[in-house]
Amino acid sequence: MLVLGISGSMRKEGNTALLVQTILDRVKAAGIETEYITLSDKVIKPCLGCENCKRERHCIIMNDDWHDVIDRVMACEVLVLGSPTYYYDVCGHLKNFIDRTYSLYHDRRLAGRKAVAVACCADKGGRRALQTIEGFFSSHEFSYVGGVCGRGYLAGEVLEDKRAIAAAKKVGDKIVTLVKPSD
Ligand SMILES: Cc1cc2nc3c(=O)[nH]c(=O)nc-3n(C[C@H](O)[C@H](O)[C@H](O)COP(=O)(O)O)c2cc1C
């Protein structure tokens, strides 16, 4: 049983990373296994729209890091997926990651996992970024646990958003109740 957190931000220690990690810390404190991945050091090429995955049942782009990350997603029970808000939506790096999962969509290979969406914005557009992540979850038939939207501009500022930190802890607790075996 694994709760996997992914930050799609190129800021390794940015606001999205901090909010995703706040959720994971809560889960870890309850004795549940967690893993954290930043996409900041990963090469994720864009989907080619070639539709070869429909025939091959896997993505034909092999020379990047997408397969390593998606293997970890396949191994998890709960996915916490976060993005900074860029122009009222998810950042391009995370969108590339999401688009490549089309190769798993045909057989709904991600279906049944639980999922939490995280977005950070300086001011506006975070809700729409959350909706994009929710749309990804919905398309793949994840079971949606909840979403957290944090405010911050410079890296670290989201820690001052008390409402978002409280919401992150609350969704962490919700994950624990959903996955922890009852005594
Ligand atoms: C290219 C770019 C576009 C952005 N667009 C928005 C936006 O539409 N709305 C907003 O409130 N903040 C926007 N921001 C600010 C980021 O969302 C904000 O700094 C966020 O906390 C970054 O998260 P991170 O530290 O995880 O990368 C933008 C920043 C960049 C670099």
CA of 183 to the centre of ligand 1 (A): 43
Q: Is 90 in the pocket of ligand 1 (CB under 6 A)?
A: no
C-alpha to C-alpha distance for 121 and 103, rounded to whole angstroms: 30
For the chain, which domains are there? 3-175 (3.40.50.360)
For residue 125, the ligand 1 atom closest to its alpha carbon is: 9
CA of 81 to the centre of ligand 1 (A): 16
Predicted confidence pLDDT, tens digits, the chain (183 residues): 799 999 999 999 999 999 999 999 999 999 999 999 999 999 999 999 999 999 999 999 999 999 999 999 999 999 999 999 999 999 999 999 999 999 999 999 999 999 999 999 999 999 999 999 999 999 999 999 999 999 999 999 999 999 999 999 999 999 999 998 776
Q: Is 94 in the pocket of ligand 1 (CB under 6 A)?
A: no
pTM above 0.95, yes or no: yes
Q: Which of 13, 23, 86, 159 to mutate to test the pocket of ligand 1 (most atoms within 8 A of CB)?
A: 86
CA of 56 to the centre of ligand 1 (A): 37
**What per-residue confidence (pLDDT) applies to 183?**
64
